[in-house]
Homo-oligomer: A and B are copies of this chain.
């Protein structure tokens, strides 16, 4: 089974992102707007118990996560992905590291550039046109996120949440 780990920003950021994703993101219907912490990885269902235990441990050691969205940006020329830039910070960086060491060891596929994708798979000309407009826009959101989620992928490519992990040990009653 394929798993992934993400943050969901607040509803207001998700609604803002979706207003663009609807037109520009081929994954619009597959998953809500998110910040990827760990890209899709294969794991056996038998490992789930151990994985969730470890994720609870990591969550308990993680502080509330500052999320500051500052502009539209793009991975061009690596890819045509357009995204909302999330400013890096120590909490995000450490959480990303924890999700790529120990039980979750494995070199990340990419350098960690926290972001919320809002466009992908656009033909070159459309990409250039859309991005040239968006990059001029002012964007500013600031919030604190207190949870992350382990998801699994269905056959149609969509993602279902398996479990939520509240940071700072608040997951206990």
Contact = CB atoms under 8 A, between A and B. Distances in A.
Contacts of A109: none
A155 B13 CA distance: 11
B1 A11 contact: yes
Interface string A2-35: 0000001001001100100010000011001000
Contact of A173 (B14, B57, B156): B57
Given A1-B11, A173-B60, A29 B29 contact: yes
Nearest to A30: B29
Contacts of A155: 15, 18
A84 interface: no
Interface residues of A, number: 31
Where chain A touches its partner, the secondary structure class is mixed
A172 interface: yes
Interface in A38-97: 53, 56-57, 60
A116 to B, nearest CB: 13
A53 to B, nearest CB: 7
A53 B159 CA distance: 26
Interface stretch (A125-133, A136-144, A161-169): A161-169
Nearest to A29: B29
A115 interface: no
5 contacts: A11-B152, A14-B160, A15-B155, A18-B155, A149-B161
The 7 closest A-B pairs by CB, nearest first: A29-B29, A161-B161, A164-B164, A32-B160, A15-B155, A163-B164, A172-B172
